[in-house]
Amino acid sequence: MGWWQQLQHFWQRRQHLNRGWRDHRYIALDVETSGLDARRDQVLAIGWIEVTPPVMDFQHGQYFVTQSAPELKQSPVVHGLVRRDFASAEAPEAALRALAEVLEGAVLVCHHVQFDWQFLQRFARQYKVRLRPLAKFDTLTFEARRLRLQQHHIARGSLTLKACRSRFGLPDYQAHHAFSDAIACGELFLAQAYQYAGRTNAPLKELLK
């Protein structure tokens, strides 16, 4: 990309970030991995759901198992995934291209976005797929900041997806499945965003601070 294209991209992105947060699309996403190291461990499954406030589009939600020969390690314990779950694995390229398409111009929403994004970037580079979300929103970081501003003590375990949801009165879901966790993350995002900026439809950039 030349300097002129970079400048155009910068100004277009700035204009988008100045629009009201409810005027954007969001992709709430979760990944299941074989470990915690994006350099060595595998992406086993990806799940996501599209959110156009206040609507969550369940009809077009996606869940892909991405490894036919997985390194399970602790996955049966952590995710409940066993070898038979990978019998109908999708080609990684298909999953990544579908994700790239839906992410274009949308805001990626994750609970601990840095973790998921590291895995996704490395996985996408492996298959020469480019993921280009407009921006990224971290429900974990948002909740930590909200608690600190309210001078709450952040105890161990208080920033898990389950714990964050409980403070907003959201129901408990079966954890550690990429699609159900993506739904849970999307619901938490809507609760956070409407509490913080819903009435005024504040600019997206304010929500992302």
C-alpha gyration radius of the chain: 17
Tell me, yes or no, whether 177 lies in a domain: yes
Backbone angles phi, psi at 191, to 5 degrees: -60, -45
Per the structure, how many domains does the chain have? 1
Q: Inter-axis angle of helices 178-197 and 139-149, to 10 degrees? A: 40
C-alpha to C-alpha distances, 185 to 48, 129, 135, 190, nearest whole angstrom: 10, 25, 16, 9
Q: Residue 193 sits in which domain range?
A: 21-203
Residue 8 pLDDT greater than 80, yes or no:
no
Tell me, yes or no, whether 11 lies in a domain: no
Read off the tokens for 152: 């709450």
Tell me, yes or no, whether 99 lies in a domain: yes
Q: What average pLDDT does the chain have? A: 87
Q: Are 92 and 127 in contact (CB under 8 A)?
A: yes
Question: pLDDT tens for residues 48-96?
Answer: 999 999 999 999 899 998 876 666 665 544 455 656 666 677 789 999 9
The answer for residues whose C-beta is within 8 angstroms of residue 74's C-beta and 6 or more apart is 34, 35
150 vs 181, which has greater pLDDT? Answer: 181
- In the chain the beta strands, taken as DSSP E runs, fall at 26-33, 43-52, 55-65, 107-110, 135-138
Tell me, yes or no, whether 12 lies in a domain: no
CA pair distance 144, 131, nearest whole angstrom: 27
The answer for residues whose C-beta is within 8 angstroms of residue 193's C-beta and 6 or more apart is 21, 53, 207
* Per-residue model confidence (pLDDT) at position 78: 46
Q: What is the pTM of this model?
A: 0.89
Tell me, yes or no, whether 197 lies in a domain: yes
Tell me, yes or no, whether 209 lies in a domain: no
Tell me, yes or no, whether 104 lies in a domain: yes
Tell me, yes or no, whether 42 lies in a domain: yes
What's the CATH number where 115 sits?
A: 3.30.420.10
pLDDT category at 9 given cuts 50, 70, 90 is low
DSSP annotation of 171 reads P
